[in-house]
């Protein structure tokens, strides 16, 4: 009789957003007349920008003609997109990343989950706490995280780096040396960022310790402050210690169309001199058949003059929501952070409520859905995340309701 991968049995509870979905559906069923506003899941609400739509139409038409039809895409990505990325996301920021260090994918979720496969199962991971849950869960599925303690909600073989108000929601260098360090800036869920000298400290630390940093920059486009790095490769020495993950979901609304990429520099080698670039190319080529041609053309359009202008306007739209949420919450007496370099506002649940208690309270009394901070890690307990990805009208209405509580 077959057996399942027992690592899956060790996973705690269900995926955060399924639990939220179930709770919201149950509430809707019991209260069909209530109008619920979701500022919960980090999904965009603005349609794709016109320059992107034009490019999609054009690419679709090419697929209808024998001469321009495309079959399987090159599994590492089309040259036109990879060079647009190298030029706009790296060369323009003074970072020298070559086209063959860029691996186009169908999004940063898959990349952030899959990248651990190329590391030894004995490698120890360090994660910010709270953080995007995919990092720990995928390492748990691989069997790298030890045993799960239901009471502390901690895995025995993971180094947690608490990010709380006391340290400005920024991780401190861990006492125990990790092999793999996950950093996510701007951070989901706290919206926190670190400045370039702080990121340089992490790069120096990783190079010295022989650790690799997996740098998730999915929210890079939301950075508004001058001294916050847009890519880890702005730091000296990052090419020998860092992999960077990027997504087209939040900067250009590709959550449904799917596109992302990973940067794995050729200078990045393990202690035996094995190239991670070659390993990731092997893994990508074996398990991934390329992002669709039409979507890669759409991705290319994000870097056109019109595309840049239009996506910038969308980001400004969401960041205006972020400002409305942050200021509204402050007026209502909440303690808030984030929302300056990220579309996430991180607030302290009032009156000593737990994160889930506040979730229930907000759903029942304001019909507003947010995300409990504890779902992102134990140090998120007592906190709550609201997103700026709603429509302007819904954001205004949600804040009106919250202020009336
Ligand atoms: N990384 C972080 C930190 C995220 O918050 C998300 C989505 O919410 C992703 C990656 C997923 O990005 P994608 O839509 O490209 O899979």
Tell me the pLDDT tens digit for each residue of 344-392. Answer: 999 999 999 999 999 999 999 999 999 999 999 999 999 999 999 999 9
> Which of 136, 187, 188 has the most ligand 1 atoms within 8 A of CB, as the residue to mutate?
188
SS (H, E, C) 75-98: CCCCHHHHHHHHHHHHHHHCCCCC
Q: Does residue 290 line the site of ligand 1, with CB under 6 A?
A: no
Nearest residue (by CA) to ligand 1, atom 8, is: 42
Residue 192 predicted with pLDDT over 90? yes
Band (18; pLDDT cuts 50, 70, 90): confident
Distance CA 237, CA 207 (A): 8
Please provide the distance, in angstroms rounded to a whole number, between the alpha carbons at the two ends of the chain: 56
SS3 content of the chain, % helix, strand, coil (to 5): 45, 15, 40
Residues 6 or more apart whose Cβ sits within 8 Å of residue 208: none
Q: Does residue 260 line the site of ligand 1, with CB under 6 A?
A: yes
Distance CA 345, CA 337 (A): 6
> For 148-162, what is each residue's pLDDT tens digit?
998 999 999 999 999
Residues 6 or more apart whose Cβ sits within 8 Å of residue 224: 319, 340, 341
Residue 28 predicted with pLDDT over 80? yes
Cis peptide before 124 (omega within 30 of 0): no
- Ligand 1 atom nearest the C-alpha of 111 is 16
Nearest residue (by CA) to ligand 1, atom 5, is: 188
3-class DSSP assignment, residue 125: strand
- Is the Cα dihedral 64, 66, 71, 74 positive or negative? negative
Distance CA 40, CA 265 (A): 35
Angle at 48 between CA 44 and CA 50, to 5 degrees: 150
Q: Does residue 42 line the site of ligand 1, with CB under 6 A?
A: yes
> Which of 112, 218, 254, 389 has the most ligand 1 atoms within 8 A of CB, as the residue to mutate?
218
Given this model, what pLDDT does residue 13 score?
74
Q: Are strands 180-184 and 125-129 parallel, antiparallel or unpaired?
A: parallel
Q: Look-up: residue for tokens 């979507």?
A: 295
> For 271-317, what is each residue's pLDDT tens digit?
999 999 999 999 999 999 999 999 999 999 999 999 999 999 999 99
Given this model, what pLDDT does residue 243 score?
98
């Amino acid at each position: 009789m077959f057996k399942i991968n027992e690592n899956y049995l060790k996973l705690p509870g269900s995926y955060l957003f399924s639990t939220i979905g179930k709770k919201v559906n149950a509430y809707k069923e019991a209260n069909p007349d209530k109008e619920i506003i979701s500022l919960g899941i980090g999904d965009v609400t603005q349609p794709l920008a016109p320059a992107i739509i034009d490019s999609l139409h054009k690419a679709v038409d090419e697929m209808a003609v024998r001469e321009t039809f495309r079959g399987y895409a090159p599994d590492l990505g089309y040259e036109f997109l990879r060079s647009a990325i190298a030029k706009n996301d790296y060369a323009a920021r003074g970072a020298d990343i070559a086209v063959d260090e860029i691996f186009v994918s169908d999004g940063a979720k898959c990349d952030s989950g899959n990248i651990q496969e190329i590391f030894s199962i004995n490698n120890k991971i360090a994660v910010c706490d709270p953080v995007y849950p995919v990092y720990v869960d995928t390492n748990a599925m691989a069997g790298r995280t030890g045993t799960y303690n239901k009471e502390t909600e901690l895995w025995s073989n993971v180094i947690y780096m608490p990010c709380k108000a006391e340290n400005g929601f920024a991780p401190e260098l861990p006492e125990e040396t990790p092999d793999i360090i996950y950093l996510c800036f701007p951070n989901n869920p706290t919206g926190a960022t670190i400045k370039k000298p702080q990121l340089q400290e992490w790069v120096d630390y990783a190079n010295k310790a022989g650790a690799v940093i997996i740098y998730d920059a999915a929210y890079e486009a939301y950075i508004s402050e001058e001294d916050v790095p847009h890519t880890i490769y702005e730091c000296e020495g990052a090419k020998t210690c860092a992999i960077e993950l990027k997504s087209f979901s939040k900067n250009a609304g590709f959550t449904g169309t799917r596109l992302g990429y990973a940067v794995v520099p050729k200078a990045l080698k393990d202690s035996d001199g094995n190239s991670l670039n070659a390993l990731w190319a092997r893994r990508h080529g074996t398990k991934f058949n390329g992002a669709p041609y039409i979507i890669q053309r759409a991705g290319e359009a994000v870097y056109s003059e019109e595309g840049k202008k239009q996506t910038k306007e969308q980001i400004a739209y969401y960041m205006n929501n972020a400002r409305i949420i942050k200021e509204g919450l402050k007026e209502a007496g909440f303690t808030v952070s984030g929302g300056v370099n990220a579309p996430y506002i991180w607030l302290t649940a009032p009156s000593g409520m737990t994160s889930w208690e506040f979730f229930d309270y907000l759903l029942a009394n304001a019909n507003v859905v947010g995300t409990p901070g504890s779902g992102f890690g134990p140090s998120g307990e007592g906190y709550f995340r609201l997103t700026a990805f709603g429509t302007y009208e819904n954001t205004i209405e949600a804040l009106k309701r919250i202020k009336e509580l």
